[in-house]
Chains A and B, each alone.
Chain A
Amino acid sequence: MANVPLDLKYAKSHEWVRVNGDVATIGITDHAQHELTDVVFVELPEVGRKIKAGDACAVVESVKTASDIYSPVSGEITEVNQAVVDDPALANSEPYEDGWFYRIKLSNPAELDALLGPEQYKVQISGA
């Protein structure tokens, strides 16, 4: 069973969100990394880019295929995780810690309310 930490919010498209003040950290869930299988390449957005919730803003490549990652929230990219670019396997081994993707300054914090809680996300992936 996939690990679903209780202190995070989740998007239906399998990204997680960790909120700290007006900045959110985004990554892919344990369930997502398991489904995507061995991550061999990660492409992240540029710092300073303004994105809207639902935008495809990163790409994860496994051996088999390329998958878009959609931003769960709107805002401006403030930081990207060079470590996961240099070592894409971190997305598999540490999806909630060293395998994070980017940080974003929230332009519409109310969007957070529309995200799934851990229990809701667990229900979603158990049905998948």
Chain B
Amino acid sequence: MKRTPLYAAHMKLGGKLIEFGGWEMPVQYTSITDEHLAVRKAAGFFDISHMGEVLVSGPAAQAFLNRTLTNDLARLAPGQGQYTLMCNERGGVIDDLYAYRLADQEFLLIINASRIEVDVGWLEGQSATFNRRSEVKLENASDATGAVAIQGPRVAEFINECFPEASTGGTNVAHAGDLKKNQVASFRWGDSTIWVSRTGYTGEDGFEVVAPAQTIQAIWNQVLTVGKPHGLKPAGLGARDTLRTEVCYPLYGHELDENTTPMEAGLGFFVALDKGEFIGRSVLAEQKAKGTNRKLVAFKMTDRSAPPRPGYAVWSTGPAPAKIGAVVSGTQSPTLGVGIGMGYVPPECAKANTPLGIEIRGKRAPAVVVPKPFYRKAD
């Protein structure tokens, strides 16, 4: 198993380690519920160094990526980022990712840990057949790069103390805290350059930091020290998963895979059908026009029951109940105190208030389709 540059820090903090996507990562330090609530009420600190980083640069970088990804990179000024997807010809999702325009001809892709090899192979394969291939440079910086996420309503109180200088690239700001949602900027850290963005995977305000692997330990220590008086707690992958589930963010391998399209997953907003040709476009355009055979829904348990889990069968209700789909994510919501989940069902069962049965150990427990997300932060 791979270890991040923060492995020793996790051990020192008493992190409980598990395998995730080939990496040995902390699932929790004290308790998933405590860490989850710290992020909702104050601040949480995550090691996300397992995630992959790919740099794409050159005069044809935008043209190449716009052919390979679903969202429209032409909408990004330098210093801005967007959520996007990489699809195969069938519209199936190879990965979901964040793409940042660092400079006019330079892009940073943040990809899922479990998909680094597949993604890099796909990008290399696509660039080999791209007519302007000599004008695009791909660099897999995953091994040389670490990353952390600082998330929660109180993070804005102390982010400037963590990174006090003005930006050196990307969005021009006097302090990191001046970044707006989805903006990214570079800052000096000793002799190195690090990137800070106002993004996250928790549904709270927050920042993500991408930096050379050898700087991550010092950044971790600095943020932990500065954030502690503001309620900052280290948080593991367990809380990361419950937090993203409450806001219905997809997790690759659960909501998304190579046989699932962004339209089925309810991610049509991130598919720019109007930007010209891109891989998967014809299938996705047809699905947009005609609809899909299944849809991702959010549901919550209505009675006191065990929490739903990935793989559990989803049933219709009524006089002739039938198995109509499967749960892809499910947990006990620490914020709401009920079982919540997401699953794929036929479109006629996807409307809010549709009753469902979730098969838990041979018995069907009542649930109901609810609008996404389960949780929305107060503005």
Which of A38, A64, A66 has the most C-beta atoms of chain B within 10 angstroms of its own C-beta?
A64
Q: A38 and B307: CB pair below 8 A?
A: no
Compute how far the CA of A82 lies from the CA of B255 in the bound complex, rounded to whole angstroms. 36
**Any chain B CB within 8 A of the CB of A41?**
yes
Compute how far the CA of A66 lies from the CA of B331 in the bound complex, rounded to whole angstroms. 10
Q: B31 and A40: CB pair below 8 A?
A: no
Chain B residue with the shortest CB-CB distance to A89:
B33
**Any chain A CB within 8 A of the CB of B305?**
yes
Interface residues of chain A: helix, strand, loop or mixed (majority): strand
A43 CB contacts on chain B under 8 angstroms: 306, 361
Q: B242 and A63: CB pair below 8 A?
A: yes
Q: B32 and A38: CB pair below 8 A?
A: yes
**Any chain A CB within 8 A of the CB of B238?**
yes
**Any chain B CB within 8 A of the CB of A76?**
no
Interface string of B216-254 (1 = CB under 8 A from A): 000000000000000000000010011000000000000
User: Min CB distance, A45 to chain B, in Å?
Assistant: 12
**Any chain B CB within 8 A of the CB of A37?**
yes
A41 CB contacts on chain B under 8 angstroms: 305-307, 332
B295 CB contacts on chain A under 8 angstroms: none
Q: A38 and B33: CB pair below 8 A?
A: yes
A94 CB contacts on chain B under 8 angstroms: none
Compute how far the CA of A40 lies from the CA of B33 in the bound complex, rounded to whole angstroms. 10
9 contacts between A and B (CB under 8 A): A37-B28, A38-B32, A41-B305, A41-B307, A62-B32, A63-B32, A64-B27, A64-B32, A64-B331
Given contacts A37-B28, A61-B306, A64-B27, 18 further A-B contacts (CB under 8 A): A37-B32, A37-B238, A38-B32, A40-B332, A41-B307, A41-B332, A43-B306, A59-B306, A63-B33, A63-B36, A63-B242, A63-B307, A63-B331, A64-B32, A64-B238, A65-B309, A66-B306, A66-B309
